[in-house]
Amino acid sequence: MCGIVGYVGNKQAAPILLEGLSKLEYRGYDSAGVAVRDGEKAAVVVKTTGRLKNLSEKIDNGKALAGTCGIGHTRWATHGVPSRENAHPHVSGNCTGSGSGEVESLVVGVHNGIIENYQELKAKMERHGYVFYSQTDTEVLIKLVDYYYKKYQGGPIDALAKTIVRVRGSYALAVMFKDHPGKIFAARKDSPMIIGKNDSEVFLASDVPAILNHTRDVYYIGNLEMAELSPKEVSFYNLDGDKVQKEVTTIEWDAEAAEKGGFEHFMMKEIHEQPKVTMDTLKKYIKDDGKKKHIDFSDFGLTKEDIEGFSQIYIAACGSAWHVGMQAQYVMEELTDIPVRVELASEFRYRKNKLNKNALVIVISQSGETADSLAALRLAKENGIKTLSIVNVVGSSIARETDYCMYTVAGPEISVATTKAYSCQLICAFLLAVEMGKVKGLIDDKKYAYYIEELLSIPSKIEACLENKERIQWFASKYSNARDIFFIGRGIDYAICLEGSLKMKEISYIHSEAYAAGELKHGTISLIEDGTLVVGSLTQADLYEKTLSNMMECKSRGAYLMGITTFGKYDVEDSVNFAVYIPKVDEHFVGNLAIIPLQLLGYYISVSRGLDVDKPRNLAKSVTVE
Ligand code: M6R
């Protein structure tokens, strides 16, 4: 939720900080700020509200700030409204105005995460004479570092360690100490932060794209660890203050993958990447030994024996990843005969679960940092239950803490509204379902080979769905002023609708609901008025007639119907006003195709309403707070 960056090297820091923040703006975009030090001089802090461009303009794209060491922040408000006072960096000393300008404070810092006991700590700090200028938990954190630094005089790492022990919550924290020019100190727990290095510079960021133009060599700083950054060196410490050795990881993908590549928005670029990334994900797990193809999970160590031991599956996730879980539930249960329960991670973590000890808990997350999903994972582990994650961001917390991590190969996803990561997550869920079904003896060799070929056909069929985009664009322009949109379907179609509806509301701000088609008449149908758009997903042969009847019930009450079904089902045009056809594929896997027109519909409606598609209001890409 918030993005942080840091730079220490031999170049002017501010332009590099701004460039890094521009790659992280998807994480938060209601205010931004930087603090830069020029040699021994005190830090200069500049903060603005609104998008990053306001900050860039204010400091002449960074050229106005001298100095080769600095930190920066782009905010998604949690504590306190978006304002200059609440924007980061925060300082430990007294500040005037909104905290901008040259500051003589001992500690200046930026933070991503939430400090849960900040009120109690704030009261303590006030008793010690500290004055607060913002409503943020971050200011409390920075003042606490200052307090321990002065009280124990053990140096920056000692002060950070004492702070970490005292606070509850999550943080990626980067601070500069007045007495230590040319250095940045960092600490982390449960919020993402990576540190990159080349021969003469060290970088710090919430996510890899922020530093990729400068280095591919990154370190992952662990939970409750600290780091000391200087131009040619980075050292890591544990809570005892002992040095920790770390391996460098080389990032495989390049900076271009995180650019728009000629598309107007990241979302559209990412929609168009789906044929490639779904194929990359399939190829990672489908091996061809020359005679036949088979699914191979040796990459993350899931064995036949492991699978045989599972008698229950729980899936925990948030948002679109939960929608993947909803779809996986239908497919896995049917192909494996293992009972599957899907839960929102935010519910799972607080319910008094009676978890089956022979279960597998699957956590699905693009970022691998979602606070509720991470907590669900930890709860499962505390209960001694095996965990498997489906994650996109390599080295993220969920990926590292899970027993088996099945990576999606979606590449960096920048648009807040997920598309390509969602599609790759579905692919992983389907691969798991097929392999588990095979191991459980429910899928014979012939069926297994058939399922694998059907899965491998998905990327080119997504391509075919994309060819239809002009029709969807035309349709979207008619409905850009809609007040409510309903998405209805049964079974897998219902799960598809959940995602279609979320895509619509999050980027178009049009109220929309996904409903199990059979449930409409139990109340919601009273909302249907003349002209209300009802989108039906009609991809399951045995449920086709049923859902169509429910759509007709809406039409009789004035609704305008859009239906999504497979090529060949042309009779649908007798009932619906606008039909969209997708290629045929095994019905279990149809979600990968039916979602494409729904992604496009949300996208085009958002564009025709003139909205910020990639950075919708009030949202952030990575939800690292509860
Ligand atoms: O990073 P995660 O997959 O854990 O994120 C979960 C949700 O926050 C995410 O899917 C969200 O719902 C998307 N913005 C939807 O497009």
10-residue averages of pLDDT along the chain (626 residues): 93 97 86 95 94 94 96 89 90 72 88 92 95 93 97 97 94 96 95 94 94 94 95 95 93 75 90 96 95 95 97 97 98 97 94 89 96 95 96 92 96 94 98 98 97 98 94 92 95 98 96 94 89 96 95 94 96 95 98 98 95 87 76
The gap between the terminal CA atoms of the chain, to the nearest Å, is 11
**Domain co-membership, 49 together with 175:** yes
Active site includes 584?
no
**Domain co-membership, 295 together with 150:** no
Decide if 261 is inside a domain.
Answer: no
**Domain co-membership, 215 together with 167:** yes
Decide if 622 is inside a domain.
Answer: no
State the pLDDT at residue 252.
Answer: 79
Decide if 257 is inside a domain.
Answer: no
Q: Is 624 in the pocket of ligand 1 (CB under 6 A)?
A: no
State the pLDDT at residue 510.
Answer: 96
CATH classification at residue 600: 3.40.50.10490
Q: Is 506 in the pocket of ligand 1 (CB under 6 A)?
A: yes
Query: Which DSSP category does 190 fall into?
Result: B
State the pLDDT at residue 229.
Answer: 98
Query: Which DSSP category does 89 fall into?
Result: P
CB of 172 closer than 8 Å to CB of 191: yes
Query: Which DSSP category does 42 fall into?
Result: P
Active site includes 621?
yes
CA 598 – CA 593 distance, rounded (Å): 10
**Domain co-membership, 86 together with 208:** yes
Decide if 258 is inside a domain.
Answer: no
Instruction: Assign 3-class secondary structure to 280-330.
Output: HHHHHHEEECCCCEEECCHHHCCCHHHHHHCCEEEEEECHHHHHHHHHHHH
Q: Is 365 in the pocket of ligand 1 (CB under 6 A)?
A: yes
Percent composition of the chain: helix, strand, coil (DSSP 3-state, to 5): 40, 25, 35
Decide if 242 is inside a domain.
Answer: yes
State the pLDDT at residue 135.
Answer: 92
**Domain co-membership, 448 together with 476:** no
**Domain co-membership, 317 together with 288:** yes
Decide if 619 is inside a domain.
Answer: no
State the pLDDT at residue 97.
Answer: 56
CB of 338 closer than 8 Å to CB of 313: yes
Could you tell me the residue range of the domain that residue 374 belongs to? 266-459
State the pLDDT at residue 99.
Answer: 58
**Domain co-membership, 586 together with 545:** yes
Q: What's the domain count of the chain?
A: 3
CA 593 – CA 457 distance, rounded (Å): 11
**Domain co-membership, 454 together with 473:** no
State the pLDDT at residue 262.
Answer: 79
Question: SS3 of 251, please?
Answer: coil
Decide if 623 is inside a domain.
Answer: no
**Domain co-membership, 446 together with 580:** no
**Domain co-membership, 231 together with 338:** no
CA 183 – CA 14 distance, rounded (Å): 15
State the pLDDT at residue 400.
Answer: 92
CB of 547 closer than 8 Å to CB of 492: no
CB of 365 closer than 8 Å to CB of 348: no
**Domain co-membership, 418 together with 321:** yes
CATH classification at residue 54: 3.60.20.10
Last residue of a domain, one of 399, 425, 459: 459
**Domain co-membership, 599 together with 581:** yes
Indicate which residue of 269, 461, 615, 621 is catalytic.
621
Q: At what angle do helices 591-608 and 445-466 cross, to 10 degrees?
A: 20
Neighbours of 118 (CB within 10 A): 21
State the pLDDT at residue 413.
Answer: 92
Last residue of a domain, one of 194, 225, 252: 252
CA 422 – CA 365 distance, rounded (Å): 9
Indicate which residue of 2, 69, 95, 554 is catalytic.
2
Q: Is 424 in the pocket of ligand 1 (CB under 6 A)?
A: no
CB of 475 closer than 8 Å to CB of 522: no
Q: Which residue has the tokens 């990032």?
A: 251
Decide if 556 is inside a domain.
Answer: yes
Distance 206 CA to ligand 1 centre (A): 17
Last residue of a domain, one of 252, 287, 315: 252
Question: SS3 of 106, please?
Answer: coil
